[in-house]
Amino acid sequence: MSDKKTPDRQIAETITASLGEDAHSETIDQDHPTVRYCKDVNSEFIKCWIRLPNQFQRDEIRRKALASRSRAITQYHDKNSDLHAILHAAMLEFDDWDLDLLRAHIAEQSVREKAFEAMIVMSTEKKWEHFDEDKQRYDYLTEVGDTDTDEFLTLQNTVEEYMNALEDRTEEFMKPIRSEYDSYDKSALMNKMKRAIIKAGADDAFQQTYNQWQIFHGTRKQDNHKQRFFSSYGEMMDAGSELIEALDMEFSQIDALKAAELKKSLSPIPSLLSHSQ
């Protein structure tokens, strides 16, 4: 077997270094390596060992989450459901808004998406190729209070310049959206708002279900990593919202570390998210 490290194994080693002694990586077998990002958890709520699900579990979890999303959409259209009542109440409130306020509100929902696209494009530009490292250094100096140095002032100027450039680039991406909404009448704006509410609710249902099943599959006994901490999904849900939220935060940390390392391994794709789409 070749000694050459796969991208997954390289990422795993970086994650392990980032999390310290509480982090581990393991493989299912040599022919089908599956890297799991994991750590020990010793909080006021629980003592356990957690890991991200493997590919087979992720596929199963995604199917459950998609089913949950589909059910939410169905409920939004069911006149007898609570979600439909919530939607109806929201639409009655929006019906009292004037056109300018509706247009601004709908456009605002696209700002985060366009800001993310702007960040992706800017990350491929030479001017900002070291911005992630500069921002990390800036945050560190801010945290330790070492702010009376030329280095900090330089980094502060860089961060401010980046944020201004990001705002300008985001607004460039928003112009055609705002222009499109300016052409909408009240009925079209209300339909757009209705679809946005349904999509947001369905997306929330997907994410909540995904997170819960990830916690169920990935939370293990500290002394036996092969044994699930919860004997059933129902037992986990009965454990209480505080515990679920605490575990969700722990999973989010290792998920974010994995995502950050995967991002570094990707090739720049400046043309994919360009304004010309």
pLDDT single digits (tens) 205-263? 999 999 999 999 999 998 888 899 999 999 999 998 899 999 999 898 888 777 766 65
Residue 130 has pLDDT above 50, yes or no: yes
- Is the overall model pTM greater than 0.95, yes or no? no
Instruction: Quickly state the pLDDT bin for 15 (edges 50, 70, 90).
Output: very low
- pLDDT, residue 113, reads 86
pLDDT over 70 for what percent of the chain?
80
Q: Which of 28-37, 135-144, 146-155 is the least confident region?
A: 28-37
- pLDDT, residue 232, reads 94
Residue 91 has pLDDT above 90, yes or no: yes
53 by DSSP, 3-state: which? coil
- pLDDT, residue 156, reads 95
Instruction: Quickly state the pLDDT bin for 11 (edges 50, 70, 90).
Output: very low
Return contacts of 168-176, CB within 8 angstroms, 24+ apart: 169/118, 169/121, 169/122, 170/111, 170/114, 170/115, 170/118, 172/118, 172/275, 173/114, 173/117, 173/118, 173/275, 174/107, 174/110, 174/111, 174/114, 176/275
CB 74 within 8 A of CB 50: no
Q: Of 275, 263, 179, 254, whose CA–CA distance to 15 is shortest? A: 254
Q: What angle do CA 174, 204, 35 make, to 5 degrees?
A: 95
Amino acid at 164: N
- pLDDT, residue 205, reads 96
Average pLDDT, the chain: 82
Q: What is the rounded average pLDDT of the residues 16-31?
A: 37
Q: What is the rounded average pLDDT of the residues 73-93?
A: 96
- pLDDT, residue 1, reads 44
Residues in the chain: 277
- pLDDT, residue 263, reads 59
Q: Which of 47-51, 65-69, 152-156, 256-260 is the least confident region?
A: 256-260
The residues facing 50 across adjacent strands are: 39, 219
Beta pairing class for 224-228 and 219-221: antiparallel
Tell me the per-residue pLDDT of 38-59, one tens digit each, with 9 for 90 and over: 778 887 778 898 888 888 999 9
> CA 87 to CA 259: how far, in whole Å?
34
Residue 270 has pLDDT above 50, yes or no: no
